[in-house]
Amino acid sequence: MQQGQTFLVLRRLLARIRDIMAGEGDPQDRLNRLVAVIAADTAAEVCSVYIRRAGDVLELFATHGLRSTAVHSTRLRFGEGLVGEIAASARPLALAEAQNHPSFAFRPETGEEIYHSFMGVPVLHGGRVVGVLAIQNVQPRRYADEEIEALQTVAMVLAELVGRGDLIAREEMVPTVGIALVPVRLEGVSFNDGIGFGTAVLHQPRYMIRRLVAEDTRVEHDRLRQAVGEMHGALDEMLRADDLSGGGEHREVLEAYRMIAEDVGWLRRIGEAITSGLTAEAAVHKVNNDIHARLGSVSDPYLRERVHDLEDLASRLLQHLVGAEDAAPELPEDEDWVLVARNLGPAQLLEYDRSRLRGLVLEQGSPNAHVAIVARALDIPVVGQAQEALSRVAPGDVVIVDADHGQVIVRPDDDVRQAFAESLRARNERQAAYATIKDQPAVTGDGERVLVNMNAGLLVDMTHLDECGADGVGLYRTEVPFLVRSEVPDVEAQTRLYGKVLDYAADKPVTFRTLDVGGDKLLRSWASGEDNPAMGWRAIRVSFDRPAILRQQLRALIRAAADKDLRVMFPMIANVEEFDHGRRLLDRELERERRRGSVMPSSVRVGAMIEVPSLLFQLDALLQRVDFVSVGTNDLVQFLFASDRVSARLHERYDELSPVVLRVLRDIAQKSDAAGVEASVCGEMAAQPLGAMALLGIGFRNISVAPSGVPAVKLMVGSVMLSPLTEYMERLYDENQMSVRQKVRAFALDHGVTI
């Protein structure tokens, strides 16, 4: 069914559903008529509605097609059968052969054995699963995405009838307080992989600032100095903890955090606020709000982490100045536990006894949060951006932190606990496999070498290089030092930083991307006010309008790479002339350093990022000029589909594993190979093993991912044979589907590829 036809059918169906719901008859009668109408309009032989009862039981309330005697008799627990799996995961499920699915549970009283295909969606009311709507067909059938979305829309309308409390008692629809609360599944983002079980402990410190105006500013300055001294002492004590005494990324983070605590600029701003007439605590609060207002809404994860560091430090300073309004939460005795918080800094995490801490759940945060890096050192799974976690989790609840899949299960039943226990055992086996390949090159099953590099943006990230087994740094974001300071760093400061990066890398290559600010990453003194900053004054466009800043950065890179290989990459190139202009500026700085008698880099390689579609039409000319290209799939995909990648409504609508994107990437790979130009991919598409596998099939042999993704990608590389993969990918380029993700996944499963 075409999308336009689907919309017409859906509108007609919704009109009929509306009439039935507003018509006469008791709720059960209306529900019976609804399933018949839904079955007819979706061309299904079966339509069934299961409604949630107390104790996480799904009862068959109405059906068209199954045996009528099964109504109010057939019951499934959450997680049991296909219907139970939909309810437990709160996600739709569509299968051409339902009985082949491992979760299929045969119920002979329903007479459903003659039906092959199955599609079901959760019925949600108030953010809670209150039932499941399912259709079935006799013939095997692959349901289109549009059909799944249409059934979800129907389920949303159906939820109104269920949520009224007419079909079952309203008491069963509302979670109760205490141990009788039903399970809850929260979606989030994995900040640090792993699976953990434990009793919930809520971190909710509050600070009451009762005095805003200072009576004597000298007294307030003294109070600030005393509080800062106490804070430094507490941080130093944490650094001496036994489980953090070794070297590694976490040590670098904590020492960097300690240095931020001594930052004279931050403390000077607080002092200036006191001088203006505020109390010490009011001054800390004001400066914190100023920083949050200026930088808190940016999408760049590295910059957001700096905001979190300063918020954490402000919270610690307030603790020393006014004390916590609430006492620290009491930890369960002799039990494993999970910490739930709005946000958390690395020092706040370390204040808790970690001997039984099994997981961390954050309502906010970023994947590159310092707390995640410290948690990694302590082997603590972290799920962030789990909205409403503090309101949905009660102290003492049993919580499963499934950071491998970015989800949190609150108050799981015994079956769910057992399933996650099995997942934990499987994960431990997978981690053991990672350890065996960390120091080995990534080579496919048929002997093809693949370079797996990592992305970085802070000096502390460079500690990942050896830990994760990356071949080098495929993308170093040089803008971070610019964004975390109130002033532009000078040549000397940049030279020191880039020199340290190259020292960390030793003999491994590092590709420096020149300044990529603009959009939502403006420097403090710059203002944009653009309606569409993602396609506005950003990246190389800013650098060309501020040539002194770009030339100083290039100068610093040249000096830092004395007697070393230098790789420089220009971002957001829209046409060949822009690359030529950037190359001329670099050549001018190279000549300047030669005349000064500076020690020159042993080699200089210059590349461009391919992320603006217009450059695709000048690719042949570009490949004659560059030493390498790197595809930034994040921007390229959003520009190809005219789809803002930060839009919640469009987040899952356009897939990078679509034929359109695959064809574009294939052309880049083929033309680069023909021109003898190194081509890599450094966007999010390469970060997951499935996307990385597709890139190998397209023809790429060089990818760059987040450090945490390197081991999994290397394991995938070792399990794949390129010849059948390349042949299979050829079949997908001319598909007309929105996404071929499931087909790519099916290939991986059929060929034993580790994804």
Q: Which residues are catalytic?
A: 370, 682
Distance between CA atoms of 704 and 375, rounded to whole angstroms? 24
Length, in residues, of the chain? 755
φ, ψ (nearest 5 deg) of residue 291 = -65, -45
Q: Does residue 9 contact residue 43 with C-beta atoms inside 8 Å?
A: no
CB atoms < 10 A from the CB of 400, how many? 27
Q: How many CA atoms lie within 13 A of 625 on its CB side?
A: 19
| Residue 637: both structure tokens together | 């995909």
Q: What DSSP assignment string belongs to 439-499? A: TS-EE-TTS-EEEEEEEE-SGGGGGHHHHHT-SSEEEEETTHHHHTSSS---HHHHHHHHH
Q: Look up residue 733 and give its two tokens.
A: 């380029």
Q: What is the largest CA-CA distance in the chain?
A: 93
Q: Report the alpha-carbon distance of residue 127 to residue 457 in Å, rounded.
A: 37
- Across the beta sheet with 195-203, the strand order is 184-187, 407-410, 398-402, 195-203, 337-341, 357-362, 382-384, 189-192
Which of these, 525, 498, 526, lies nearest to 513 by C-alpha position? 498
The answer for residues whose C-beta is within 8 angstroms of residue 716's C-beta and 6 or more apart is 689, 692, 693, 753, 754, 755
Find out whether 377 and 249 touch, Cβ atoms under 8 Å. Answer: yes
Radius of gyration of the chain (CA): 29
Q: Which residues contact 579 (CB under 8 A, 6 or more apart)?
A: 570, 573, 608, 622, 625, 626
Q: How far is CA 262 from CA 228, 310, 486, in A?
A: 9, 11, 16
Q: Give every CB contact of residue 676 below 8 A, 6+ residues apart in sequence.
A: none
3-state DSSP call for residue 232?
Answer: helix
Q: What pairing do the DSSP bridges indicate for beta strands 189-192 and 382-384?
A: antiparallel
**645: enclosing H helix or E strand:** none
CA angle at 632 for the pair 626 and 636, rounded to the nearest 5°? 110
Alpha helices in 211-300 (DSSP H): 217-239, 249-261, 264-275, 280-295
Q: What angle do CA 295, 348, 417 make, to 5 degrees?
A: 105
For 414-453, b/e burial (b = at least 16 CB within 10 A) is eebeeebeeebeebeeeeeeeeebeeeebebbeeeebbbb
Return the closest-CA partner of residue 125 out of 95, 90, 82, 80: 90
652: three-class secondary structure by DSSP? coil
State the virtual CA torsion across 163, 165, 166, 172 in degrees, nearest 10.
120
Write the DSSP assignment of 112-148 as a string of letters.
GGG--EEEEEEEEETTEEEEEEEEEESS-----HHHH
Q: How far is 116 from 402, CA to CA, in rounded Å? A: 32
